[in-house]
Amino acid sequence: MSSRRITTVAGMVGALVVLLATAAGAEDQGPASSKGGKAVDEAPSGVELTTTLPEKISVENSSEETAITATVKNDGSEGSGEIRLLVVGFDGLTVNDVPGCSAIAEGDLPEGANSGFACAIEGLAAGAVESYDVSASFDLGKTGKICLPVQSGDGGKTYWQQGPVPFGTSNPSPSAPATPLLLGTDNQPVGPGGEELPRTGVSSGALGAAGLSLMAIGAAGYWWSSRRRIVD
């Protein structure tokens, strides 16, 4: 086989591997969900902004690294104008990077948050969607929460806020390379006699239905009321 043909075949195989890896990663996260989301301030007429997070993420047990897709969309009939999406981590979930977005200074983070990024969006047309790849780490010994507020461009209003909503698991995999976590789910240890993972979510009695809403760390809107203007 000629070197040219070998190179061509190798390139095709490499592309196929990348394609399969991308498809697998998307499949691992499952369908998108707006669980824990609520409208806060009234949006401009004809604008309907919401966000979604994956139903499932997978945390590598060795590195504690994970990837999350954060999506904002406009289901309204008019363009949104200038807005910004914030991606904020709490407790054991730390947001390490969101390409194309700016890190929020530590002093500007809301109480209880450990990290955050602000993503400026010039405008979302009616029906448009914008997605961001979030690199994060998750300490499996702690509760981990994430929050996605959508604000006006100057931070004066919060049109929508998803979370802080927890990730947790009811099916731990202590011997596996990775632990799957489900959005809005309390962590449960391995059954009697089995190896037990650290808890990553609060108990159902402490969280309950409130944990599936914005009551996990306070009512929507109020959470951002003291720190509306973070970074432009």
- Inter-CA distances, 111 with 48, 159, 215, 218, 228, Å: 28, 20, 15, 11, 13
pLDDT of 224 above 70: no
Q: Where are the domains of the chain?
A: 1-29, 31-225
- Check whether 116 has a pLDDT greater than 50: yes
- State both tokens at 56: 């499932």
d(C-alpha 177, C-alpha 168), whole Å: 17
117, 70 contact by CB (below 8 A): no
The pTM score is: 0.73
Give tens-digit pLDDT for 144-180: 899 999 999 999 999 999 999 999 887 767 678 998 9
Instruction: Copy the structure tokens of residue 31.
Output: 């369908």
Tokens standing for residue 147 = 């929050």
pLDDT digits 0-9 by tens, 18-73: 333 333 333 456 789 999 999 999 999 999 999 999 999 999 989 999 999 999 99
Kindly list the strands in the beta sheet with 65-74, ordered across the sheet, starting from the edge strand earlier in the chain: 32-33, 49-54, 65-74, 129-138, 93-97
Per the CB < 8 A criterion, the answer to whether 186 and 208 are in contact is no
31-225 belongs to CATH 3.40.50.300? no
Look at residue 7 and give its three-state secondary structure. helix
- Give the position of tokens 């979930």: 93
